[in-house]
Chain A
């Protein structure tokens, strides 16, 4: 690293800046180290910061331990089929940072990125840097999204997001409306009803998956059959799959399936998509049955893909017999209206997804939906890259085991970029 002039008003120079020291940023750092590209990893908090501060207490990884692997590093404990707790994830990632000697600067928040003739100026809370290339690895889940209709919720209702919720004890006694049925929504609905609070779960489009299929973890099937590795440029409707909610999965020692049938058996009332809050009443869509039909059809199609793969690759002997699951049970008539003022519902948990925060990125690379414009992580600005976004380059792109392939390919691209004279770009 060089400095332009003596310290004090100086701008430190570095070839590459990685923003974010989570599993993605550290994987990128490892690949940059392998190619001896000098870089720093800027981290607003500590290593694995989101895993430390932005997760509820009971969360475990959705992927089994044997799938926890990063470049040159993998899980080697005694429970390959288990799912890591957050403490274990933090330790796993922190060990990787040490082993790969990642040049991490903690407590260094990037406040502004701007184009220069030769690259970028990066302003941070801890001094400024000038670099030729940037890897954005700050994640896809920086801000919980709450739909605009949330503003109409009566003030007597206490509202939570996955960032403010830690465990059911945070909630007032009484009924809870959980909005959203992705992994977050189903997991929180499950633990909240176990705490003795009545739970209503508002369900929109969702992705149903069994935890295990034919005696194997469903992610074993995803991985082995190649579905997990499907590439972004082989997908017909990439925009749609990039917006898919996370699958209804939970990591538990029992390897339990947590679908809507399991939740309704536990006493959760399933209602349609929350479509309006009007005069203090929540109004739910009457289209629940079709959402169930769509999710069941898609799950069965995926299981059919797995069956076909097992047949065609002579793997039938090592898995259990083919199975199909009970269709999602539709309530005879679902509740369409819920009075939010009569005291029945005391709190709402908005499990309605997350969005990335690019407010610090002073470049015209954001579309009108607030998403980064990129082609497989190659952002629409020279030398700028992104990692860890949904289906960035592969279906597995946001998962820990998806970090290596994406990071390697993008660091290859970055190295080519550095080696190409500006006149030939």
Chain B
């Protein structure tokens, strides 16, 4: 299905081959993603991400990534880095954008630019414990894409819809997931 012409820099053939290969090997499809985090001071922490597990063995990113997180000064913090909840927007945006590129490649659509703006609405009375009826996290997230591509508006909308359908981050935000937090 890889169409001649469009080149968005996504190796769709490799993805399609992997999909075929994993049909008969569900064990190899089991991945574990990891992050480790260390408290710095106040609300500031530093996380590191490098290793993961997949295709039946240990894997590693080419380099280790360090990510700081903190709270802004309006929360009486020192604002060394973005807030954890903002990472959720980053995760969602980058996941959907990767999806748009992959789906466009698969459908033979040349992309020229893909930009998105994200807004997550949150009532901080939840985390402050002001009102127990208010949830802690986002109650509404809005993603607005601006896409320039060789395709009709309808085809672009279909790209964005399909990328949501296959997005890991979109799924984990919109659906509950089992979470265990324990002290080792």
Q: Contact residues of A with B, CB < 8 Å?
A: 236, 272-273, 275-276, 278, 283, 285-287, 290, 293-294, 297, 300-301, 333
Q: Is the CB of A294 within 8 A of B1?
A: no
Shortest beta-carbon distance from A235 to chain B in Å: 13
Q: Is the interface of B mostly helix, strand, loop or mixed?
A: helix
Which residues of B approach A to under 8 Å, CB–CB?
1, 139-140, 154, 157-158, 161-162, 164-165, 170-171, 173-176
Query: Given that A278-B176, A333-B139 are known contacts, is A290 also in contact with B164, CB under 8 Å in the complex?
Result: yes
**B154 close to A294 (CB less than 8 A):** no
Q: Inside 8 A of A275's CB, which chain B residues have their CB?
A: 175-176
- Chain B residues with CB under 8 Å of A297's CB are 154, 157-158, 161
Would you give 23 A-B contacts (Cβ < 8 Å), ordered by A? Answer: A272-B174, A273-B175, A275-B175, A275-B176, A276-B175, A278-B176, A283-B175, A283-B176, A285-B174, A285-B175, A286-B173, A287-B171, A287-B175, A290-B165, A293-B157, A294-B161, A294-B162, A297-B154, A297-B157, A297-B161, A300-B154, A301-B154, A333-B139
Q: Output the residue of A273, A275, A290, A333 with the most chain B CB within 10 A.
A: A290
Known: A287-B164, A300-B154. 6 other contacts (CB 8 A): A275-B175, A285-B174, A287-B175, A293-B157, A293-B161, A294-B162
B1 (CB) vs chain A CBs: closest residue: A236
- Bound-state CA distance A236–B161 (Å) is 19
CA–CA, A285 to B164, complex, Å? 13
| Cross-chain contact of B174 among A278, A287, A300 (Cβ < 8 A) | A287
Shortest beta-carbon contacts, A-B, top 9: A286-B174, A287-B174, A275-B175, A290-B164, A276-B176, A293-B161, A285-B174, A294-B161, A283-B176
Write out the residue numbers on chain A whose beta carbons fall within 8 Å of the beta carbon of B1: 236
Contacts of A300 in B (CB 8 A): 154
Q: Which of B140, B164, B165 contacts A333 (CB 8 A)?
A: B140
Q: What residues of B have a CB within 8 angstroms of the CB of A285 in the complex? A: 174-175
Assembly CA distance A300 to B139 (angstroms):
31
A273 to B174, CA, bound (A): 10
CA distance A275 to B165 in the complex (A): 15
Please report the C-alpha to C-alpha distance between residue A290 and residue B164 in the assembled complex, in whole angstroms. 7
Q: Which residues of A contact B162 (CB under 8 A)?
A: 294
Task: Report the minimum CB–CB distance from B141 to chain A (whole Å).
Answer: 8
Contact (Cβ within 8 A) A294 B165: yes
What's the Cα separation between A300 and B154 when bound, in Å?
Answer: 10
Q: Give Cα distance in the complex from A216 to B161, angstroms.
A: 30
What's the nearest-Cβ distance from chain A to residue B19, in Å?
11
In the complex, which residues of chain A have a beta carbon less than 8 angstroms from the beta carbon of B157?
293, 297
